[in-house]
Structure 1
Amino acid sequence: MSRNIHKEEEDVSSDVHKLQQLLLALGRRRSLRDPIASTCEQLQFTPPQVHALLWLGQDGALTMGELARRLGVTEKTVTGVVDRLEREGHLLRERSASDRRVVRCRLTPDGQATFQKLERFMFQGMGQLLSILDTSDRKALFRILEKLLRRIDSSATAPSPRERSA
């Protein structure tokens, strides 16, 4: 069993290298920037600010901790992101009535309008990228991404292969 796990790790390592090489080759031909990255500069937002607006627009009010987790930043860093967006009228902070320590961020009407603008730019950018693929390739891409999500969800509760062999 240990040999199979070692072989599986080698296969994944080889595949990581292959994916990295393919992404580098793609990046040499076409920018791999986030489809809305140029919008950041046009609207004078940082990428974390744009992503904060997108998450809040998609999912509604989020706690500071949840927003930090989704942005992949510390809670200290998210405070600066939220401070600027609040100062510019895009969001507001709300304290929980049941637990005053909990602070949620919510888009203002101006923030909602900015979110809709960002969403249009993102939709156009993704459309340009997906239009390179034919229908069957897009379906294969979606099938793979859906499988990846299912496996991530199931692995969050299941032991890893290494834990199972111990």
Structure 2
Amino acid sequence: MENTNLANVLGALSLALTDSVAQSVERMIDDAGPAAEAMCLVRHAPGIPIEQLRRALRMSHPGAVRLVERLEKQGLILRERCSVDRRAVELKLTKEGEALVSKLHQARLKALEEAIASLSSKDRQNLCRITNQILFSLTKTKDTALTICRLCDETNCLNCPVGKRYSELA
């Protein structure tokens, strides 16, 4: 019974946090979900190929291509030929894209900080430790790692459990 209650409450918390972050991000960009996630991933992994972006966002290839085309037309993403494999395309943010991602990260951080504002310092430390354990165990593949971190601001992540697990994966 205890685990069932914990799982249920954790599920509700996950949805509440997701909704809070989504609402904050939607104020910044149209079609916030995939567009914001794509831009944050490109910042997190400059040069990411469309195929890897597609897998991380769990999109179809045509859907990912259309998303990248739209962000490119908006002046937020650049597609460049890979220097190693001229057939491959690498994605990078423009200056405008970088500025928007910074704003998206600020909005996300504010929403999350509001959610934990009532916790004591000790509770925050415990939550951080537990969250790190859960994130580490959820990171099963490199694609999963990118999916988990698709809105993360890597500059605020100290000793990232997902990054640690990512480096261990083949």
TM-score for both structures, normalised by structure 1? 0.70
- Unaligned regions of 5+ residues in structure 1, if any? 1-10, 157-166
- Residue in structure 1 matched with residue 99 of structure 2 by the alignment: 113
- Deviations along 1:113-156, one digit per CA (max 9) or x if unpaired, are 11111111111111111213222222112111222344455x66
- Residue in structure 1 matched with residue 8 of structure 2 by the alignment: 21
- Residue in structure 1 matched with residue 152 of structure 2 by the alignment: none
When residues 49 and 19 of structure 1 are mapped into structure 2, their CA distance, relative to the original with a 3 A threshold, is farther
- Residue in structure 2 matched with residue 94 of structure 1 by the alignment: 80
- Residue in structure 2 matched with residue 7 of structure 1 by the alignment: none
- Residue in structure 1 matched with residue 115 of structure 2 by the alignment: 129
- The aligned amino acid for 1:22 is V
Pair 1:67-2:24 in alignment: no
C-alpha displacement of 1:110 = 0.8
- Unaligned regions of 5+ residues in structure 2, if any? 142-170
C-alpha displacement of 1:64 = 0.7
Task: Output the aligned Cα RMSD.
Answer: 2.8
Q: Secondary structure at the match of 1:49?
A: helix
Pair 1:144-2:164 in alignment: no
CA distance in 1, matches of 2:112, 2:44: 17
* C-alpha contact 2:24 2:111 (8 A) present in aligned 1: no
Aligned to 2:90, which of 97, 104, 108?
Answer: 104
- The aligned amino acid for 2:91 is C
CA distance in 2, matches of 1:140, 1:125: 20
C-alpha displacement of 1:20 = 4.8
Pairs aligned (count): 141
C-alpha displacement of 1:42 = 4.5
When residues 131 and 149 of structure 1 are mapped into structure 2, their CA distance, relative to the original with a 3 A threshold, is same
- Residue in structure 2 matched with residue 49 of structure 1 by the alignment: 35
TM-score for both structures, normalised by structure 2? 0.69
- Residue in structure 2 matched with residue 162 of structure 1 by the alignment: none
If you compute each CA radius of gyration, which structure gives the higher value, 1 or 2? 1
C-alpha displacement of 1:96 = 1.1
C-alpha displacement of 1:82 = 0.6
C-alpha displacement of 1:77 = 1.6
CA distance in 1, matches of 2:121, 2:66: 42
CA distance in 1, matches of 2:39, 2:87: 22
Relative contact order, CA 8 A, sep 6+: which one is greater? 2
